[in-house]
Amino acid sequence: MKWGIGLVAVLLIIDIIASHYFYNLAIERNVKDFLNGNEDLEVSGEAMDVLLEGNWRDWVADQDFEEWELESFDGLKLKGYFLEAKEPTDKTVIFAHGYLGNGKQMGLYGQYYYEQLGYNIFTADMRGHGQSEGDYIGFGWHDRLDYLDWIDMVMAKQGPSTEIVLHGVSMGAATVLMTSGEELPSNVKAVVADSPYTSVYDLFKYQMNRMYNLPAFPVLPSTSLVTDLRAGYSLTEASALKQVKKADVPILYIHGNDDAFVPTTMSRELYENTKSDAELITFDGSSHGEAFVIHEEKYVDKLNQFLQEYMGK
């Protein structure tokens, strides 16, 4: 009996330590060295050149973004960046960036919306990223509420006739999908989700097995509890899948078939469970979040068709 109790106590202590370790590793705001050298995040040389040194970076640097500030529902100061179109328009794209990114990195996509489509563009540093406050990463869940406030701010500044598309990549894609399940104003006409995950729990379960050869139980449920205590949300409630089952806004899903970081099956599951009008396009020879660079013409063609149908392009 004593040996049994002792063993249980030791295992419980190990589980608690591991849960805090994985929280600090993935969710707490800090330097994320664990992603360095991750083969699942390797991109082609062509994509790397564009992502790191593409002319879109010069384009972003040359633009005169207005800096906006928002106080979140829990008192954080969040930073956003707005660029008015060259010609007056009612159309605005609101971007959501990926894990460890920042708002202006969405200039990779913003340049196309701005130069070719003539949209106003708005992008934000999500909580725990860039110039925004926050000591944890929300993985889209609390961010969905922030984006509701950003949507309201865009509408207040652009007027009641503004039409909005939400466009997110990776964690940003999950964010806009989580936002889609909330009660949105009719001004939000469409959502573009590039390389999203179904839920934070599903993503962590997949990554724990792939990166550490660990089963989800018991560490992941305990990590979810630690996340709830320290960040105010659980890994299971942070679900894009549950949200799209309530969505009324049309959604375009985009995913690379070679994505080993967020498997393509997650987009397929999201697509199959979406309540609203939905489309799915996948790209061969494309890993995580690189379809726009590797297959730009095909990507843009599909994006334009989608925007034409729901935004009048």
Domains defined for the chain, CATH in brackets: 54-199+238-311 (3.40.50.1820)
Q: What is the H or E stretch that residue 212 is in? A: helix 200-212
Q: What are the pLDDT digits (tens) for 34-70?
A: 767 667 666 666 676 777 777 999 999 999 999 999 9
What distance in Å separates the CA atoms of residue 300 and residue 170, rounded to the nearest whole number?
Answer: 18
Q: What is the H or E stretch that residue 81 is in? A: strand 77-83
Tokens describing residue 114:
């701005």
Task: Yes or no: say if 150 and 80 are a contact pair by the CB < 8 Å rule.
Answer: yes
Q: What are the pLDDT digits (tens) for 278-301?
A: 999 999 999 999 999 999 999 999
Q: What are phi and psi of 67, to 5 degrees?
A: -90, 125
What distance in Å separates the CA atoms of residue 97 and residue 129, rounded to the nearest whole number?
Answer: 10
Q: Considering the entire predicted model, what is its pTM? A: 0.95
Task: For the chain, list residues with pLDDT below 50.
Answer: none
The CA-based angle 289-290-296, given to 5 degrees, is: 125
What distance in Å separates the CA atoms of residue 102 and residue 15, rounded to the nearest whole number?
Answer: 33
pLDDT at 40: 63
Task: Yes or no: say if 195 and 173 are a contact pair by the CB < 8 Å rule.
Answer: yes
